[in-house]
């Protein structure tokens, strides 16, 4: 999936983003991208087993412990670690039926992760920055 309208639909039809691998470092994209999305009205839930809170948001050690209904799992993990994240998302989705999208941040790709997500009926986007895509589609217009 990469058509602009499909990506626009992800932003327009989903509100809660679980950020897998959200960082405590404000200089890293894994913190400033979710903060940007929060500034645009999205609910952000950090998922990082090494922190209790990130930017005053309760942090969860894994997707299963997130109480709220998750729409999007945004992944900030190395490409070779994404299969485990996708498998965790699929397992949660089987139980909760809430995850609609798995989004691997720009620079992160994994074909096995894509295959698993799509076979489970979850929309999969990889190698794209949510901040850049939001800005391009909603703040700069479609060129």
With a CB cutoff of 8 Å and minimum separation 6, the contacts of 47 are: 18, 19, 20, 21, 22, 59, 60, 61, 62, 63, 66
What is the residue range of 95's domain? 4-136
- pLDDT on residue 3: 84
Nearest partner of 30 among 98, 86, 108, judged by Cα: 108
Cβ-Cβ contacts under 8 Å for 71 (sequence gap 6 or more): 13, 14, 15, 16, 17, 98, 99, 100, 101
Asked whether residue 74 carries a pLDDT value surpassing 80, the answer given is: yes
CA dihedral for 95, 98, 100, 101, sign (positive or negative): negative
Residue 126 lies in a domain: yes
Model pTM greater than 0.75? yes
Q: What is the mean pLDDT of residues 93-115?
A: 98
Smallest Cα–Cα separation from 20: which of 52, 44, 36? 44
Structural domain includes residue 40: yes
Nearest to 46 by CA among 88, 13, 86, 75: 75
pLDDT at 63 over 50: yes
Identify whether 14 is part of a domain: yes
83, part of any domain = yes
Q: Calculate what percentage of the chain has a pLDDT beyond 70.
A: 97
CATH number at residue 44: 3.40.50.720
Asked, for residue 117, whether it belongs to a domain, the answer is yes
CB count within 10 Å of CB 12 equals 11
Strand partners, 16: 43
Other Cβ atoms less than 10 A from the Cβ of 52: the count is 10
Instruction: State how many domains the chain has.
Output: 1
- Report residue 142's pLDDT band, with 50, 70 and 90 as the boundaries: very low
Angle, CA 93 vertex, CA 75 and CA 7 arms, to 5°: 50
Q: Is residue 142 part of a domain?
A: no
In a domain, 141, yes or no: no
105 falls within a domain: yes
């Amino acid at each position: 999936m990469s058509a602009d309208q499909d990506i626009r639909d992800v932003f327009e039809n989903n509100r809660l983003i679980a950020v897998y691998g959200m960082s405590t470092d404000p200089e890293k994209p894994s913190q400033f991208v979710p903060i940007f999305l929060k500034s645009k009205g999205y609910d952000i839930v950090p998922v990082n087993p090494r922190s209790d809170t990130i930017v005053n948001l309760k942090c969860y050690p894994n997707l299963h412990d997130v109480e709220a209904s998750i729409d999007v799992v945004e992944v900030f993990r190395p490409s070779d670690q994404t299969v485990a994240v996708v498998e965790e998302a699929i397992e949660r989705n089987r139980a909760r039926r809430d995850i609609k999208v798995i989004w691997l941040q720009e620079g992160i790709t994994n074909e096995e992760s894509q295959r698993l997500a799509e076979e489970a009926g979850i929309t999969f986007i990889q190698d794209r920055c949510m901040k850049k895509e939001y800005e391009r589609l909603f703040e700069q217009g479609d060129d």
